[in-house]
Every structure is written in structure tokens, then in C-alpha cells.
Amino acid sequence: MNSHHAFVGGRSGAWRVSAQKTIAGEGLPTVTHIDLHRPPPAALPDSARWQLRGFTSNLRYAHRDELEVLRTRQEALGRPSSRCAALIPIRKTPEWWAMPQDERRALFETVSQHTRIGLDYLPAIARQLHHARDLGEPFDFLTWFEFAPEHAPAFDELLARLRATPEWSYVDREIEFRLEATP
Amino acid sequence: MNSHHAFVGGRSGAWRVSAQKTIAGEGLPTVTHIDLHRPPPAALPDSARWQLRGFTSNLRYAHRDELEVLRTRQEALGRPSSRCAALIPIRKTPEWWAMPQDERRALFETVSQHTRIGLDYLPAIARQLHHARDLGEPFDFLTWFEFAPEHAPAFDELLARLRATPEWSYVDREIEFRLEATP
């Protein structure tokens, strides 16, 4: 809980970038590798072009029944079979953040079934959410996904379903990094 | 939104400590003054004994109807009449943080009426919540209150009512600083 990480983009790292796509809003300088640092480095490494910082935290929307199913089905990060990963930084609009909790929850789950959609891809697609907005970072969330190469089509489908939800109309900046573990 | 502050305890500052009480758990070194810094200082001032850091953020529990009433009744910090203030750092138990959102919301408002109780003291008692847990700080929340001297008894009553709620059974560390504006 509450551990701080930095995703460092540059010319070296544990994950090779196989694709970098700007989905919405401003892009980020192109990089060939992404490396994870925990905690964030005191100074940006020489080979780095940027870093994105975030922290894990308590769940903000899940109800008891959803939490129980999540706990039953999800597997940890770092599985040897997970040779593929993705990093998806997103930012939501000021309108989203001005909404009270009940309206954000309704959009997130009742209307958009964010948790429900993710459950359909467990345990194949493991994920970890990192919060960034409260650090004054350029993105609000950095979501990290890990999966085996044969599950890449399922991951594409997961992304397509999430991006088609009403919740996603509040996303005004989004970048998709597809990654492969370096040998 | 999302501005980072530090409450610096030491021998000088804008607020003189009229009382420092440890309500639950471990205390903090005694100080005579508390100063606010925004953003937090890069290094602790020479006259300081400690600092507590936190950030303002979006509302985590309030529903639309509660938000509307809050917006109607509350007044800003910094009123000239607010010669009294209080800083109350609290920490909640691991059990609290492991609960899903619906159970925390139920304890916070349905059962304990946290927002409802605060409304009874508006606009007299102005408040600002600062989140600290996600920074790895020793407390989870730092709440700052401001009020005129004649409302000190009302503030005492507000604290007594909150501390009597079921929500407060999840508070395992709490310190109360009562403050007066320095001339």
C-alpha cells in the first residue's frame, strides 16, 4: 500500500517499447525503453527523457462484493509468463474531479462497469493502478498491465471496451505504451 | 485543488500554540508555534522541531446533496475574525483502509454523520482537510480549523460529537493543537 514508483522513459530499462500511441491530448517524447523505479530516483538518470510518478493507494470506488471477486480472481504482478506489459497514463477533465463521490461512482461502475469489465480478463490481465494527480503530475492515473503474449488480443479488447464507456468521455489525455520484457 | 502544504512546528510562526494534547497514540514533540508553508520547505527551518505534510484533494465521500449544502454554507479560510485555529492530525487503523468504499462511506456518513455534524457548525467553524497518508507521512489526515474566539465552545462541542462516532473507533492516533494568531 502507498508505495511510490516512477516509470522512467529513455534508452534503457527492463521493458522495451514495442508501440507508443497518443490516444488523446498531448503526447510524450518518444522512448525505446521504460524502467520502473521504487522509490522514484532522486535525479533523472542520464539515459532518461522523462519520468512519470505515482503511488498505489486504497480502493476509491469498489464495493464489498466487487472487492471479494477481485481478490478471488486476480493474480500478482511479476509472473514469469508475463512477457508483455502496458503502461497507460490518463488524465481526466476538471468536470470529473468536481463531481461528488456518488456521481463519480455511478459513472465509473453503475454506468460504465469499469470493475466488471476488468474482471472478465482476470486472471490473464494483471493490473496495478498508480495515482498521480495528487502529486501535481501531468497525468491523473498510471495503469500498469502485465500478461502473456497469447493474451495480447484479449488486452486489445479490454482497452476497446473501456474506451467505449461513458466514463472515458471524461478522459482528455491518454497515451498507450505497449511493452516487451527485455531478455 | 491538490496544493501541498507543510505544518511546521517549532519556536516561531504565524500561530501560537495555546494547548497541545495527545488524544490517542504516540504524541509529537512539544512546540510553541506552528507555521504554514505552501509548498513545503525544501529543508526544515532551524527553529523547527518537525513538519507534517499534506495535500488538498477531491472529495472522497460527499454525495451531491451534501456537496450543495456545503457550498452554500461554508466560508473561506483567512477571515479576519478567525483569531483561533486548530490543527488535528489523525491516523486511522489498517482495518479502515482495507475496507471497500461502500463500507467506509457507510461508517463515515450513514452511521457517523461526519459531514452532517460539520454542517451544524457552518459557517462559524471553517475547515480544510489535508491528505497525508499517500505521502507516507505518520498521520493520514491533517485537518485545519479556523474560528472566532467566541466560537471556541462550539468547536469543543464539534470535536466531542465527532469523537463519539463509530467512525472514531478507527482512529488510533490523534493530536490536538489549539492555536491563536500571533499579533
A contacts of B100 (beta carbons < 8 Å): 59, 62-64, 66-67
The answer to whether B2 contacts A105, with C-beta atoms less than 8 Å apart, is no
Beta-carbon contacts of A87 under 8 Å, excluding residues fewer than 6 positions away, are A7, A34, A142, A143, A144, A145, A177, A179
Q: Which A residues in the span 82-141 are in contact with B, Cβ-Cβ below 8 Å?
A: 97-98, 100-103, 105, 131, 133-134, 136
B contacts of A105 (beta carbons < 8 Å): 101
The answer to whether A60 contacts B101, with C-beta atoms less than 8 Å apart, is yes
Task: Identify the pLDDT of residue A138.
Answer: 98
Task: Identify the pLDDT of residue A183.
Answer: 87
Interchain contact B156–A (C-beta under 8 A): no
User: How close is the nearest chain B Cα to the Cα of A50, in Å?
Assistant: 22
Cβ atoms B81, A120 nearer than 8 A: no
Task: Identify the pLDDT of residue B183.
Answer: 87
Of A63, A102, A133, the CB nearest to B100: A63
With CA atoms as reference, the chain B residue closest to A133 would be B2
Tens place of pLDDT per residue across chain B (183 aa): 569 999 999 999 999 999 999 999 999 999 999 999 999 999 998 989 999 999 999 999 999 999 999 999 999 999 999 999 999 999 999 999 999 999 999 999 999 999 999 999 999 999 999 999 999 999 999 999 999 999 999 999 999 999 999 999 999 999 999 999 998
The answer to whether B58 contacts A136, with C-beta atoms less than 8 Å apart, is no
**Closest by CA position to B42, among listed B15, B8, B13:** B8
**Closest by CA position to B55, among listed B161, B156, B148, B132:** B132
Q: What are phi and psi of B23, to 5 degrees?
A: -90, -40
User: How close is the nearest chain B Cα to the Cα of A95, in Å?
Assistant: 11
User: How close is the nearest chain B Cα to the Cα of A98, in Å?
Assistant: 7
Average pLDDT of span A128-145: 98
**Closest by CA position to A145, among listed A125, A131, A124:** A125
pLDDT in tens, A10-60: 999 999 999 999 999 999 999 999 999 999 999 998 999 999 999 999 999
A contacts of B58 (beta carbons < 8 Å): 97-98
Q: What are phi and psi of B174, to 5 degrees?
A: -155, 130
With CA atoms as reference, the chain A residue closest to B54 would be A134
User: How close is the nearest chain A Cα to the Cα of B87, in Å?
Assistant: 21
The answer to whether B64 contacts A2, with C-beta atoms less than 8 Å apart, is no
- Phi-psi sector, A25: left (phi>0), alpha (psi -120 to 50), beta: left
Cβ atoms A182, A13 nearer than 8 A: yes
pLDDT in tens, B40-59: 999 998 989 999 999 999 99
What percentage of chain A reaches a pLDDT higher than 70? Answer: 99
The answer to whether A103 contacts B58, with C-beta atoms less than 8 Å apart, is no
Interchain contact A46–B (C-beta under 8 A): no
Of B2, B97, B131, the CB nearest to A136: B2
Residue A106, CA distances (Å) to A61, B77, B113 in order: 9, 32, 22
CA angle, corner B42, sides to B41 and B48, nearest 5? 55
pLDDT in tens, B90-104: 999 999 999 999 999
Q: Which A residues in the span 63-82 are in contact with B, Cβ-Cβ below 8 Å?
A: 63-64, 66-67
Cβ atoms B49, B17 nearer than 8 A: no
**Closest by CA position to B94, among listed B18, B172, B156:** B172
Average pLDDT of span A113-119: 96
ipTM: 0.92
Give the DSSP per-residue string, A157-176: HHHHHHHTSGGGGGEEEEEE
A94: confidence class by pLDDT, cuts 50, 70, 90? very high
Residue A1 in this model has a pLDDT that exceeds 70: no
Taking the C-alpha atoms of residue B79 and residue B149, their distance in angstroms, rounded to an integer, is 12
